[in-house]
Amino acid sequence: MGEQPIVLLKGRTDAFNNMALEETLKWIEKISCHMASELDFLKEYEIEHVEVVGELLNEETINRFKGLALSLKFPYKNYKSCVNASTQEILEQGLLVQSWSSLGSLLESTLQMFMAFYYRFYIKSEWYKWEKEAINQIKDVLMGSFKENLEDIVKQNEANGEKGITNAVKKSFIIKAKEILKQKSDLPKIERITLSDLIDFYFCENVLESKDYGKEDLQKIRDYRNAIHAFQKRVIGSWDDYNNYLKDVIMLTIDILYRLPDLPVEEPIPDWYHNGKTEIIMQENKWFDYHLGVNIAQANS
């Protein structure tokens, strides 16, 4: 056996694990708003793809994100303020749907904003794209033998008066297939990527390698977010579930803050930047226990 890797490990303290939902909501609001302000501020020092980054992280985008973070607390406040027990029970499902929907949107926007800030790295990624050779091979078959077979079936149906593939169905299918091939030729625009695909990108590209939350945790938020389709049979996470997954997003957002560049040394540090970052770091020291140890997952791999 070789030497086991010694790494810096992070454990959740009781202060973090036992943090009540009201407190969690307060901190996710504070940390998310600071991240948005920091991204908005630091983008001015980017020298590559300035126009694209500026358009993605514009004033409207930043303010909408902050508004979302600030509004997260209201469904739970409304739930707690309801004094009628029977009404509260009925309201709970609707307010949980609102909460998960907002959290899913916040997570989606958080991932999009970080990706937009580091746009220069995103456009170098081959994620989502199919190889040019694969696209050309599919296109050759689609517009060749496959299309001919469809046309033969259409002619047979028309000649025999049978139901099945019509010329309109064939055209519609070919158009949609071409659209898929076109989509797979290029990276999607950041503002158009779905939450599920965003999560896939971050983990497939090893942007996020945290042992404190995984791909399945973030996908669970996405699943609960889909409870907004209320008429379909859905499992809606409880308030305790909501609190736990809020904490995952807090950890993710803190990780993102540590991945942002420092201010240029010649630039003065604004008070809001210093005070906000200091408060978050001090709180993080209460939430997490950092220590050297063996990473079991790496040691066993």
Q: According to the model, what pLDDT value does residue 298 have?
A: 46
The yes-or-no verdict on residue 199 having pLDDT over 70 is yes
By mean pLDDT, which of 31-40, 54-63, 112-121, 208-217 is the weakest?
208-217
Q: Which residue has the higher pLDDT, 203 or 107?
A: 107
Q: Which pLDDT tens digit goes with each residue over 89-110?
A: 889 988 999 999 999 999 999 9
The full 3-state SS of the chain, as one line of letters, equals CCCCCEEEEEEECHHHHCCCHHHHHHHHHHHHHHHHHHHHHHHHHCCCCHHHHHHHCCHHHHHHHHHHHHHCCHHHHHHHHCCCHHHHHHHHHHHHHHHHHHHHHHHHHHHHHHHHHCHHHHCCCCCCCCCHHHHHHHHHHHHHHHHHHHHHHHHHHHHHCCCCCCHHHHHHHHHHHHHHHHHCCCCCCHHHCCHHHHHHHHHHCCCCCCCCCCHHHHHHHHHHHHHHCCCCCCCCCCHHHHHHHHHHHHHHHHHHHHHCCCCCCCCCCCHHHHHHHHHHHHHHHHHEEEEEEECHHHHHC
Q: What does pTM read for this prediction? A: 0.84
pLDDT per residue over 66-91, tens digit each? 999 999 999 999 999 987 888 888 89
In the chain, what are the domain boundaries?
6-127+190-300, 132-183
The pLDDT of residue 301: 44
pLDDT, tens digit (0-9, with 9 covering 90-100), for 24-53: 999 999 999 999 999 999 999 988 899 999
281 pLDDT higher than 90: yes
